[in-house]
Each structure stands twice: as C-alpha cells, then as structure tokens.
Chain A
Amino acid sequence: MVSMTGLVRACALALSIAALSLPARAEAPTTAANEAVVEHYVLDNGLEIVVIPDHRSPIVTHMVWYKIGSADEPPGKSGIAHFFEHLMFKGTKAHPAGEFDRVVSEIGGNQNAFTANDYTAFFQTVPPDALPTMMSFEADRMRGLILTEDVIGAERDVVLEERRSRIESSPRSLLQEETQATLFQNHPYRIPVIGWLHEMEQLNRVDATAFYDRYYAPNNAVLVVAGDVEPEAVLALAKTTYGLVPRGPDLPPRVRPSEPEHNTRRTVTMNDARVGVPSYSTSWVVPTYRNARPGEAEALDLLSEILGGGTRSRLYQQVVVKGDIASAAGAGYDSGAYDPSTFTVYGVPQGDNTVASVEAAVNAQIASVIKDGVTEKELDSAKTRYVRSLVFARDEQADMANLYGRELATGGTVEDIAEWPDRIRAVTAEQVQAVAQRYLDPSVAVTSYLLPPATEGK
C-alpha cells in the first residue's frame, strides 16, 4: 500500500514506521488455543482502550492515538498538528520538560511520536512494570501541558529543519508533495503533513494552545496497550490515570471538504540535475474502507496486490520480467485513510527504454484487467498472501498496536479488524474487475514525472 508517510519526532524510528505498512489490516485473534484475546473498553470520559496481550518477551508497547491529523487543521495553519506533536514533549506542571524522556531512558525504554493525515500518536516501549508510570505521564500531558513562548521558537526551528531535511533536500519529495496537491483539488489531503514552509514559519503559541484545547481530550483519543500484560490490570490502571482526566468538549462530526468531480487528466513534471534515472507514477482518488460501497475497498486491496504487489504481480511479471523494459513497476493503495485516498501505479525504465514506453506497458496491463478481469488463480494467491501477511504481522507487538490504533483512530472498530479476512475471502473476480473499471479511468488520472534536466532536441 502507499503509505501516507507519518512524520516522527526523531528520525531514528522513521524506518520502523515505514516498514509496518505491509498489510493494511491484521487478523484479529480468533479461536486457536495459543492466541491471545484482544480486549476493548470505553471509560466514562470517552477514552477508548484496546489491550493486545503478547507474552513472548518482557516488553509492553503503550500508545495514545488522538483522532486529529493534518487534514483536520484550520485553513492557513498547515503543519500545526505535527508541530503540536513536538510541543507535547515540552513539560507539564507535574513533570518539567525533559523529565519524561529521562524517565523513559532510565528504565531502558524508547519513546517517540508521529503525525499523519488522520491521526497523531505518542508511544513508549518499556518493561511491563513501568506501564503505570507511562500511563501516569501520558494522562498528565493530555490536559496538563504548559506552553511558554521560549520553547515555541526553538521547536519551530526544529520542525523547519525537519522540513528542509525531508522535503526541500529531495526532488522526489518535492514532486510527491506537488502531485498530491494536484490530485486533490479540494480535500485537505492536498496539504503536506509537515505543512507548507511559509505557513509553518508563522505558527505560534496561540495557534498551539487553541489546537490543544480543542483536540487533546480523552473523548478524542484511543489508548492501545500491547505486550506482556493482562487486560484487567491495564483497565484498572487506566481508570486511576486516564480515568481522572475530564471529558473534553464534544467535537463536531469529522467532515472535511470533499473532492468535486474530476474531469481532466493532469500531469506534474519535475526536472532536476540530481535525477539519474527517470521515473513516473499515475494516481487516482479512490474510496477507502470507511467510505467505500460494500466490498469495494476489499476489491481495490486485491486489485493492488494482483496488479502490482511484489514479484508475482502482473506489472512485475509482464513489464519487468517478460517485457524487459522496466527495472521496477508496481501499484499501491492507501486503503486505511479516513476519506477517499490514492491508488497509484508506477514504473522505472530500464536501460535505454523510455518512461513513455514503460507508462504505455503499465497502462496496457490496467486496460487488460478492465477488459478481461483477473483469473481465479491470481485472486486466490492474492487472498492467501494477504491473510498470511496478517499472521506474520502478529509477530511484532508494535505492528499490532499500530494496526488497532490506526483502525480506531480512523473510524473503524475492533470488529472490523476481526471480520477483515472473511471480507477479503468473499471478494469475487467480477468485483475486482468492476473497481478497476470504475476507478482507474485514464481520463481523470494525475501522472507525475521525475526527470533529468531537459535537453534540447528531445
């Protein structure tokens, strides 16, 4: 799947976050004797809690997810969600700045945070007996943050450097940002999570405080605890920590500006001297699990896998192996987004082949699915691979915590995760063909090109 890259507080964890976008969802524990049961609770103040026991190692992952992301920001304040994530480490009355990091370090734990379009999450990985301390600190800063002017300026400089490191220094990232802004004409997914540079420079304490007071409250949060713990004990601890935090104001329904009808084919091109090999991608706005008609998101997931998921996919086998014209080709689908999001195909020419020839070959594969559909064998293999990836995902407690956190922070439920394998198994070849026909329309696609400097006569 295409990941809406979350921004993390420090780069050390960027890889692990990116690495867990294997399957969009994981299998909920079922009935096998050796599987733990996922528990779900709701406190009186509205805080949702998920506990995922995993007794392999003496480790626990403690996460708080807020249902607030960059797509919820006020107009003109791009980057405030991510900037605020950084400010959450600036201390409270009870625990001055730096104390939380110090306490986590001294117990041998790790902590970090990340922001994406639809959510902001904070987490610690610690030995199980440190869980009460983590819950105490995290509950304290849910409402107890103190923001002074002097911490704002230096931290704003940090996120500006983060933008320069991640985006401004990379032609690919700049192109991706502008492609997204072209694909989405009205929905805030057009705005980068980290923010536009000129708006980030203006973010201030008043903006941050307003954002905090509106969105950081138990009734807009999900607590996820995975690891070497018992659910009842976690619930009891949550009641004596998070349970004491008063419910915040009721938030209006989470309705963002939506996309108008798309009627044109658009292209976005960047030429840069640092580009050694050209590449391209084509994207469409498509529905996701929360907003799709029944079965369509599942069918799009399988379409993405059959068309471009790894070395057994059509794009790899037909364009890279048999066509012998591309060094890479694939597809991705951001199925977990709160609002309709992107389906993407991409390719990189090999040797003297042109981007145009690779693009044509990829388009021919899409046209073939639209016209003739997919085979039962392709469909079965893709389903098996998906369901298997869910078993593998259970191996990493942080992946499981992320899976449940993301699902609940974007409007899903524990039951949605449990039912997902059966919903995938139920998809028919006709449904896969139908979503390809409905959504992969070349006349409304956005294609982006990353090219070396233009030369005369070409």
Chain B
Amino acid sequence: MAVRFISTLVVAALTLFAIVPAQAEVVFQDVTSPKGIHAWLVEDYSVPIVTIRFSFSGGTSQDPVGKEGLANLMTSLFDEGAGDLDSDTFQIKLDDAGAEMSFSADQDAVHGSMRMLADQQPEAFGLLKMSVESPRFDQNPIDRMRSQIVSGIMANAQRPETAANEQWAKTLYGDHPYSRTNDGTIAGLTTVTAADLRAFHRAMFARSNLHIGVVGAIDAETLKTRLDQVFGDLPAEAALTPVPDIVPKLGQDVGITYNLPQTTIYMAYPGVQRADPDFFAAYVMNYILGGGDFSSRLFAEVREKRGLTYGVSSSLQNSDHADSLVIGTATRADRAGETLKVIQDVIAGLAKDGPTEAELASAKKYIIGSYAINSMSSSVAIANTLVGLQDVDLPIDYVAQRPALINAVTLEQVKAAAAKLLSVKPTILLLGPAATPADVPTPTPAPALETPTQP
C-alpha cells in the first residue's frame, strides 16, 4: 500500500510571480517481511544513505523499583559488544561499516536508530542485528557506562533546577513511575547486574511491541530481507509490567528558594488524550495560548509588549499514561510578580472568551501547513515521524487525513477546550530568590519542557 501526499500549499498573499517547481513528494509504503515484521518505508535516493529508526514500547517506566536507571544503562551498552564481538571489535567494525548507531530510552519506549551509507548497508544491518538480538552486557562496559551515568547524575545533583524538576515530578505524579527521571538514581544503578540487563532486554525487545520506520536508498524487497535479518528472530511477545494511567495532581504550589538572577515558573493544567475526539480543539487552543513561536498570546503579552522574558511557551504533553498542558518561562526576579499576573490574565481571558475567529483561522493554517516542514525535513525527521505515528496507532494515510481533522475544529470547540482546561487551578512551581507561590510568579525556561512531535 502506498499513500501519497503533498504538503498543503497556501497561496501567499504577496507572491510576485509563481515558480512552479516539480513538487517533491514523500510516499509512505507499508512493508511486511516474510516473517511478519512490519515497517513503514519512504524510498528516497537523493542522498546515498539509509536511515532506520525503531521503538520498543516499555521504556524507563519499566524500571523495577530499586533498579531505577536500568533502561537508561541498557541503552548505553548496545555498541559495547554484541554476539561474538567485544566492545572494541564491535566499535571498530561499526566505524569501518560507515554507520552511526544510537539508542535512548524515554518513559514509554526504548528508541534505536542507525544511519548508514547505502553501499555498506549489508554490513551495517548485520551489526544492527547483533546489537538488537544479542547484546553482550560484558562487565567492563557495564561498569564504565554506569560510572559515566552516575557522574552525570552527581554533576547535576547540586543544581537548583534538579531539585525543582524532582519536586515538580513528585508533586504531579506521586509515586507513579512517571515521577522518576529517565536517568535513574545512583542507588538504583548501583544494584543493576548483567543478569538484570539480559532479562530486561529479553522482556522488552520483542516483535509485539516494535515499530519501525525506514528512509532512504533502499527498496521494499531489500528491506524485507533486512527486517527479517535484524528483527525476525526476536521473541514474538514482550513481557512488560503494566503501568497504570495517572491524572497529574493539580492545584499544588511548589517553591524552591535559591539566589538566582531569574525566577523560573512552571504551571501545569489538565491535558487531553491523543485519542480524545477533542484533542485537536485543545491542540489549536494551545497553539493560540503559547504554542506558536512568535505569534502566541503569551509571547505577545509577556515578551513582545513588556520585555519580561526571553522565552515563554505552552505545550500539550502526551505520554502513554498521562496528559497535561504545561506553561513555562523565566523572568527577572524583581518582576516575577508582574509576569505571573500577565500570564494569569492571558489564561483567564482565553478561558472566558476563547480565541477570535482570526486567531482560529491563523492557527489552523499554521498547524496544517507546518506538518511537512516540521516532520519531513531530513531522513532522520521522516523516520522519526514514521515511528511516532505508529507509536500512537495512527493509520498510514493519517497525513492525508490530517488537514480535514484540523479544519473541522470549530470556534465553539476551541472555546470549550479553553474553558475546560484553563479554568482548573494549576500546579505552580517557582524557582528563584523569593519562591513563594502566594506572592509571586509563574512559568519556566523552555529547556525543561519536552518538545512533542507534531501530531
């Protein structure tokens, strides 16, 4: 099956004269190997490389209590020896094969990727197979990578931002796995053994929880062979520990006092599930509130008109088991009260009256038109999109359906979403010299916020 789409083109108001290039197209193919491994493929020969990205659902929320950091440590070891190759030999072969490989873990999945030169793809896929199927978890690399991770945790341990993030997560998620950091803890990492790593790998790396995206100079028939080679011998079913859904706890005030030149503010409001019929109404609302880089209400009021901050934004955050809307900024400490008031006024205004027709129309145009630009700019971006869509169970023709889904959102629906989400008393965190939520400010610096893939 192949689905074609071309980015929706909006006629620009000031077009001098039209250039009419042959429009580039990105075509998604659904590929199934003889052993039943599914992948989405974008065949593209513009650069002689192949990029593969995949996810195994699970992630750091699978870390057992007392072994926090297990998933993170595991992802640091896939290029540290596999099959009959020790760490040194494996890395030299990987380098000789002209390939770059990386693994990482977030709350909900372990992600892997490899970028290789097309003319060396057989060797590269051979190494990827060994990595995915039979990582060695030798003691020397375990100890080395563990000490690097521990060193990283220690390096940040005295930063007030670390304390703030920790309290923020505890306040919202209590003792749910989402309250933990992806890095893990020093105590947890210290207890992890090679046997733990092997068991964890066996439980999570299976065909049942695997999504794959491939982009580049490879055809569907060749890819089928490679899919069976790399993933075909994995266990059929993953053995994951169920993780409960959780509603973040709102209405809380958190203050971290530290003598800093700025006050950082986070605010958490309720979110909306990705599968909820109101998701796009909420998404559009968030764009108008603070999702648009230079065009949101928060940007206009807090930065542009008053110069109170360098960055202010809001973001809809969706995980497998929790959803929220988070606002963040950082402002000079002596104007933190003013900043908080401005943000609260913007929120109250949107909750009460909703957006204007003009704002809704602009938001829709951006959200529709930006998809190709934000999701298709490189092999890596496209592969990321291919996997991200599968991770949330969207169909392969989703990209073609998407503009209609967004255009269907009405002003009333956006008003309703604003009233519903923004009328709730948020959890507010303040980090700064006078961090008493009662008398001062609001949001935080964007770095701590995740940037979600564009839905």
A and B from one complex = yes
Chain A residues packing against B (C-beta within 8 Å): 10-12, 32, 34, 36, 54-59, 89, 98, 101-103, 105-112, 125-133, 135-137, 153-162, 164-166, 168-169, 228-230, 233-234, 237, 240-241, 273-277, 279, 311-312, 320-321, 324, 327-328, 348, 350-351, 381, 384-385, 388, 391-392, 394-398, 452
In B284-323, the 8 Å CB interface with A consists of 292-295, 303-311, 313
Shortest Cβ distance from residue A129 to the other chain B in the assembled complex, whole angstroms = 6
B362 proximal to A (CB < 8 A):
yes
Shortest Cβ distance from residue B357 to the other chain A in the assembled complex, whole angstroms = 14
B15 near A129 (CB under 8 angstroms)? yes
B144 (CB) vs chain A CBs: closest residue: A321
Shortest Cβ distance from residue B59 to the other chain A in the assembled complex, whole angstroms = 21
A233 near B19 (CB under 8 angstroms)? yes
In B337-385, the 8 Å CB interface with A consists of 362, 365-374, 376-380, 382
B211 proximal to A (CB < 8 A):
no
B365 near A108 (CB under 8 angstroms)? yes
Chain B residues packing against A (C-beta within 8 Å): 6-26, 44-49, 51, 79, 91-92, 95, 98, 100, 115, 117, 144, 147-148, 151-152, 154-160, 260-262, 292-295, 303-311, 313, 330-332, 362, 365-374, 376-380, 382, 445-447, 451
B432 (CB) vs chain A CBs: closest residue: A169
B373 near A59 (CB under 8 angstroms)? yes
Across the interface, A101 reaches (CB within 8 A) one of B46, B294, B368, B445, namely B294
Interface centre among B16, B18, B22 (most CB of A within 10 A): B16
Q: Which A residues touch B23, using CB under 8 A?
A: 58, 128, 228
Expressed in whole angstroms, the Cα–Cα distance for A132 and B368 within the complex equals 21
Expressed in whole angstroms, the Cα–Cα distance for A381 and B93 within the complex equals 11
A56 near B307 (CB under 8 angstroms)? no
B372 near A165 (CB under 8 angstroms)? no
Expressed in whole angstroms, the Cα–Cα distance for A137 and B309 within the complex equals 27
Shortest Cβ distance from residue A33 to the other chain B in the assembled complex, whole angstroms = 10
Expressed in whole angstroms, the Cα–Cα distance for A112 and B446 within the complex equals 16
Shortest Cβ distance from residue A66 to the other chain B in the assembled complex, whole angstroms = 20
Shortest Cβ distance from residue A335 to the other chain B in the assembled complex, whole angstroms = 21
Expressed in whole angstroms, the Cα–Cα distance for A324 and B18 within the complex equals 62
Interface centre among A59, A154, A311 (most CB of B within 10 A): A59
B48 near A391 (CB under 8 angstroms)? yes
A130 near B12 (CB under 8 angstroms)? yes
Given A105-B295, A165-B445 in contact, is the A396-B12 Cβ separation under 8 Å?
no
Expressed in whole angstroms, the Cα–Cα distance for A164 and B23 within the complex equals 44
B10 near A128 (CB under 8 angstroms)? no
Given A56-B24, A133-B15, A385-B95 in contact, is the A452-B158 Cβ separation under 8 Å?
yes
A162 near B17 (CB under 8 angstroms)? no
Across the interface, A275 reaches (CB within 8 A) one of B151, B158, B330, namely B158
Interface centre among B14, B15, B159, B303 (most CB of A within 10 A): B14
A34 near B48 (CB under 8 angstroms)? yes
Expressed in whole angstroms, the Cα–Cα distance for A388 and B49 within the complex equals 10
A132 near B16 (CB under 8 angstroms)? yes
Given A110-B373, A327-B151, A348-B151 in contact, is the A156-B261 Cβ separation under 8 Å?
no
B377 near A127 (CB under 8 angstroms)? no
Given A10-B311, A12-B451, A106-B362 in contact, is the A154-B306 Cβ separation under 8 Å?
yes
B19 near A131 (CB under 8 angstroms)? yes
Q: Which B residues touch A311, using CB under 8 A?
A: 79, 91
A161 near B14 (CB under 8 angstroms)? no
A-B contact pairs, 25 of them (CB 8 A): A12-B311, A12-B313, A12-B451, A56-B46, A57-B372, A58-B9, A59-B373, A89-B294, A106-B10, A108-B367, A125-B377, A128-B21, A130-B12, A131-B19, A133-B13, A133-B16, A154-B305, A161-B308, A164-B330, A166-B310, A279-B155, A350-B151, A351-B151, A395-B49, A395-B115
Given A132-B12, A164-B261 in contact, is the A155-B365 Cβ separation under 8 Å?
no
Across the interface, B147 reaches (CB within 8 A) one of A126, A327, A388, namely A327
A154 near B304 (CB under 8 angstroms)? yes
Q: Which B residues touch A57, using CB under 8 A?
A: 7, 24, 26, 372, 376-377, 382
Across the interface, B98 reaches (CB within 8 A) one of A153, A164, A351, A388, namely A388
A107 near B293 (CB under 8 angstroms)? no
Expressed in whole angstroms, the Cα–Cα distance for A250 and B322 within the complex equals 60
Task: Supply 4 further A-B pairs (C-beta < 8 A) apart from A59-B373, A125-B373.
Answer: A56-B24, A107-B10, A277-B154, A392-B49
Sorted nearest first, the 10 A-B pairs with minimum C-beta distance are A108-B369, A157-B307, A108-B370, A327-B151, A154-B307, A162-B310, A277-B155, A133-B12, A396-B378, A101-B294
Given A34-B48, A55-B22, A59-B377 in contact, is the A105-B292 Cβ separation under 8 Å?
yes
A228 near B21 (CB under 8 angstroms)? yes
Q: Which B residues touch A273, using CB under 8 A?
A: 158
